Structure formats: structure tokens, C-alpha cells
């Protein structure tokens, strides 16, 4: 099982033991964190390839160092596949992750002091969309929109338009990290146009669902730019990407912002891994995978609803769910995360809309289906996982019950092992 790490084992036993421990943890437990997934063996091989040795500042055909024949091939393939997946004209595949992609995007399109209208973190947004703890708020002004009703997930688009007219943002930013519904891209795009702003979507969580045609593509509704991670539902290596629908001017600004404006040499091993993952996402089987993610999330939604547990936004249109376990079961999110981890179910504590508890011990838990769908779980298995989650939380102090649940999960994991080949 661990022969692939023979050199690490002989050279650095402590690191080897940690890697093998993580390998075992992933194999014997269920990964429900909606921003995590498993990658193919081909993606992992690319990430550890000789391309890690190469400095490649610049872009294909315009590098600052020599010896770029093969790196140019790799990056061009990655860009071409990304453009095909998302139906756009320009792609920058160099951002090291999602947050750097967002920062580079801001510096490409904004001047210091300019305004961004983004989703409030407490209603499902992301730190890089303007939370006060980030340095971005020292440079740009952020104003926020929220859900009109946290029990239905409806966004208050009338209020969004009102705020946009008042503050005149340069960017109207869609996207989220803990919001489970489809957005009204037509409405958001029209709001951006009405105030002369760029329409931008951070699709980090749902990029794979868009690429797999399971959810709408904001580019089809007039959006100018998409930022994203390449892991999560896209099932690639940890990294970022910025996509431009059709404006060459915007594409050039983004390229200059990523390099030399914000980053140095790109990680070519990671870009090769991105290219391979994009190739996997272009395969017909990926559409089946993306569609199954949504079916599985709906199966889990039904179990939680039937058990009377409150779901923020009333359920899900995507891969993730957000449950108010404190309000429904009187269990804080932090405790729920720990208790579920004990039986081999990994998810994360998460604040809910207008949460009265603090962010390190909030009222909710966030979970989703990308990784277990990669393991070939269907609706039946996902419904059972949801049942086991609720059983565990309701019997959190019952050691015997939790042991039985842990064994059932181990059995399930053996039956649905983590695949290494996706196409």
C-alpha cells in the first residue's frame, strides 16, 4: 500500500508515518467537507514530477528563463482545456490557490479605495469577499448583501440593487463558501451593468458542477470573470484559476496582475496536474459524476428534513448543506464536528446566518457530497450516511453505539474504496 513512499520511508520516517497516517485516515473514513475531494493517481504523479524543479516566470512564449519548451506545452494545454470546460476565451492557470486568485483579480480591475459588493460571510460568503479580518479591507471598500430569508435561501436582490446604486461598486461579486442555492445570475449581471460594474463570480465551490453541466455557467448570463480553485468539485490539485469570458483587455490586466504583479514563478508541477484534471473533467463520465453529486446531496437533505433538523436555505441546489445542529439538537457546531470525527465522519463546524454563537464554536455544521461521490456512493449510501450522522449526534455520549457506527463506516469504506483512475 505504501511502496510509492519508499524513499520517504528510508530518508525521513517521521514524515513517512504522517503521510501513511493520513492515507489510512482517508481510506477508513468518510470525507464530507464540501471543499475537499480526492484526486486521481495521474494528478498526484504530475504534482510530484520533475516539473517541480523548473522556474517559469512569465507566460508561454514570453518567459524570463530559458529551458521552457516543455513547460510551455503544459501551460498551453491547461489553458486550452480550461477555456473549453468553461466556454470562455481567456484563462490564467497560474494562481496558487483561490484566495490569491481573488486578490490578483481585485488588483487587476480595481484601484485602491474602489468598492466591491459581495456576499456577507455570515450568510455564506468567503473571507476574501470582504471580511474585516483580511488585509484587503485596508485597500478596498467592501459592502455586502445577504439572504432575505435564511429559511429559503432567497437573496434580497432588491436590496442588492439599492446598495449598488448607493455605493457604485466597481465589482459585483457573486459566489460563496457556505450557501447551498443556485444564484440568479441574470439579475446579478443586470445589477452590475446598471451601475457600470464588472460582474464577477467566485465559483470555487461549484466549478466542477459548472464544468460537468450540472449547474449554470455564469458566463452564459453575461458575467465578465470567474475566479476559482481547481480542487473541490473540479477534483484537481490544490490551486487557483481566473477565467475571462471574452474581453481581451480584462484578460491582459489579469495576466499582468498575477505575474509580475502578485506572484513570482508559477508551480509548473501543479499546472501539469491541473491540465490532467481538466482533461478528466472533459471526459463524458465527469458529467455523470457532477449530476450524482447533486442527487446525493438531495438524498442527505431529505433525511435531515425528515428528522426535523433545520437546514439553512431550506435545503440545497448544489453539493453542500448547512445544518443548524445547535438550534435543532442543542449541540454546538464544534462539539458536533468532534463527535462525528470520532466515528470516522469528517466535516466542519460553520456559522449559520445571523449566528449568535462565535465563529470558533458556531451553531452549524457544513457538509457535502463531492468526495463520497468520487467513491461511487449513490443516493442509498448517502441517505445512510445522513442517518448515521444524526444517530451519532443524538447518541453522542453512548460509547457502545458510537463504536458500532464506526465499524459500519469502516465496512462502507472498504466496500467503496477511493479510486485512483477516473477516466
pLDDT by residue, tens only, the chain of 423 residues: 557 899 999 999 999 999 999 999 999 999 999 999 999 999 999 999 999 999 999 999 999 999 999 999 999 999 999 999 999 999 999 999 999 999 999 999 999 999 999 988 777 878 888 777 888 889 999 999 989 999 999 999 999 999 999 999 999 999 888 899 999 999 999 999 999 999 999 999 999 999 999 999 999 999 999 999 999 999 999 999 999 999 999 999 999 999 999 999 999 999 999 999 999 999 999 999 999 999 999 999 999 999 999 999 999 999 999 999 999 999 999 999 999 999 999 999 999 998 999 989 999 999 999 999 999 999 999 999 999 999 999 999 999 999 999 999 999 999 999 999 998
- Within 10 angstroms of residue 386's Cβ, the number of other Cβ atoms is 25
- The answer to whether the beta carbons of residues 372 and 296 sit under 8 Å apart is yes
- Within 10 angstroms of residue 128's Cβ, the number of other Cβ atoms is 25
Comparing CA positions, the residue from 239, 209, 218 lying closest to residue 173 is 218
- Decide if 229 is catalytic: yes
Burial class of residue 334, CB neighbours in 10 A (0-12, 13-18, 19+): middle
Catalytic residue among 5, 16, 55, 70: 55
Grid-cell match 463546524, residue found: 349
- The answer to whether the beta carbons of residues 327 and 393 sit under 8 Å apart is no
Total number of residues shown for the chain = 423
- Decide if 397 is catalytic: no
- The answer to whether the beta carbons of residues 76 and 91 sit under 8 Å apart is no
Catalytic residue among 54, 146, 232, 406: 232
Catalytic residue among 28, 45, 57, 342: 57
- Decide if 411 is catalytic: no
- Decide if 168 is catalytic: no
Q: What is the set of domains in the chain, with CATH numbers?
A: 45-281 (3.40.640.10), 285-415 (3.90.1150.10)
Burial class of residue 193, CB neighbours in 10 A (0-12, 13-18, 19+): middle
Q: Residue 423: its pLDDT value, please?
A: 87
Grid-cell match 458510537, residue found: 402
- Decide if 55 is catalytic: yes
Bridge partners of 30? 345
| Gap between the Cα atoms of 28 and 418, Å rounded | 10
| Gap between the Cα atoms of 324 and 311, Å rounded | 6
φ, ψ of residue 14 to 5 degrees: the values are -65, -45
Catalytic residue among 71, 134, 227, 229: 229
Bridge partners of 91? 243
Catalytic residue among 141, 187, 238, 410: 238
| Gap between the Cα atoms of 148 and 262, Å rounded | 36
| Residue 311, C-alpha cell as written in the block | 437546514
Catalytic residue among 75, 202, 301, 324: 202
> Global pTM?
0.96
Strands (E), 44-114: 58-59, 62-63, 90-92
Amino acid at each position: 500500500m505504501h511502496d510509492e513512499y519508499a524513499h520517504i520511508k528510508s530518508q525521513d520516517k517521521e514524515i513517512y508515518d504522517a503521510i501513511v497516517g493520513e492515507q489510512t485516515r482517508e481510506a477508513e473514513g468518510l470525507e464530507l467537507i464540501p471543499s475537499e475531494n480526492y484526486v486521481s493517481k495521474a494528478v498526484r504523479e504530475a504534482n510530484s514530477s520533475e516539473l517541480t524543479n523548473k522556474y517559469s516566470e512569465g507566460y508561454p512564449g514570453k518567459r524570463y528563463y530559458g529551458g521552457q519548451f516543455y513547460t510551455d506545452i503544459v501551460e498551453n494545454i491547461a489553458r486550452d482545456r480550461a477555456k473549453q470546460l468553461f466556454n470562455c476565451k481567456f484563462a490564467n492557470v497560474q494562481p496558487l490557490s483561490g484566495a490569491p486568485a481573488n486578490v490578483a483579480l481585485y488588483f487587476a480591475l480595481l484601484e485602491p479605495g474602489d468598492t466591491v459588493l459581495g456576499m456577507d460571510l455570515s450568510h455564506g460568503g468567503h473571507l476574501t469577499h470582504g471580511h474585516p479580518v483580511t488585509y484587503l479591507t485596508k485597500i478596498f471598500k467592501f459592502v455586502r448583501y445577504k439572504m432575505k430569508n435564511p429559511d429559503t435561501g432567497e437573496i434580497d436582490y432588491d436590496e442588492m440593487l439599492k446598495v449598488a446604486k448607493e455605493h457604485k461598486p466597481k465589482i459585483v461579486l457573486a459566489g460563496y463558501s457556505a450557501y447551498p442555492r443556485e444564484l440568479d445570475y441574470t439579475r446579478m449581471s443586470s445589477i452590475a451593468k446598471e451601475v457600470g460594474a464588472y460582474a464577477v463570480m467566485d465559483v470555487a465551490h461549484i466549478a466542477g458542477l459548472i464544468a460537468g453541466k450540472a449547474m449554470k455557467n455564469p458566463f452564459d448570463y453575461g458575467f465578465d470573470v470567474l475566479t476559482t480553485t481547481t480542487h473541490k468539485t473540479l477534483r484537481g490539485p490544490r490551486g487557483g484559476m481566473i477565467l475571462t469570458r471574452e474581453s481581451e483587455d480584462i484578460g491582459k490586466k489579469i495576466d499582468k496582475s498575477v505575474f509580475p504583479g502578485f506572484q513570482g514563478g508559477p508551480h509548473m508541477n501543479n499546472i501539469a496536474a491541473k491540465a490532467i484534471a481538466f482533461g478528466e473533467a472533459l471526459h463524458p463520465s465527469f458529467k455523470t459524476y457532477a449530476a450524482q453529486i447533486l442527487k446525493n446531496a438531495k438524498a442527505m437533505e431529505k433525511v435531515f428534513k425528515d428528522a426535523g433538523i433545520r437546514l439553512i436555505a431550506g435545503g440545497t441546489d448544489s453539493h453542500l448543506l448547512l445544518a443548524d445542529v445547535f438550534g435543532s439538537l442543542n449541540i454546538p457546531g464544534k462539539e458536533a464536528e468532534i463527535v462525528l470525527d470520532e466515528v470516522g465522519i469528517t466535516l466542519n463546524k460553520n456559522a449559520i446566518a445571523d449566528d449568535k454563537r462565535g465563529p470558533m464554536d458556531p451553531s452549524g455544521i457544513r457538509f457535502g457530497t463531492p468526495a463520497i461521490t468520487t467513491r461511487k456512493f449513490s443516493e442509498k449510501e448517502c441517505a445512510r450516511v445522513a442517518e448515521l450522522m444524526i444517530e451519532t449526534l443524538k447518541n453522542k455520549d453512548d460509547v457502545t453505539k458510537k463504536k458500532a457506527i464506526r465499524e459500519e463506516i469502516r465496512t462502507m469504506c472498504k466496500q467503496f474504496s477511493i479510486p485512483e483512475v477516473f477516466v
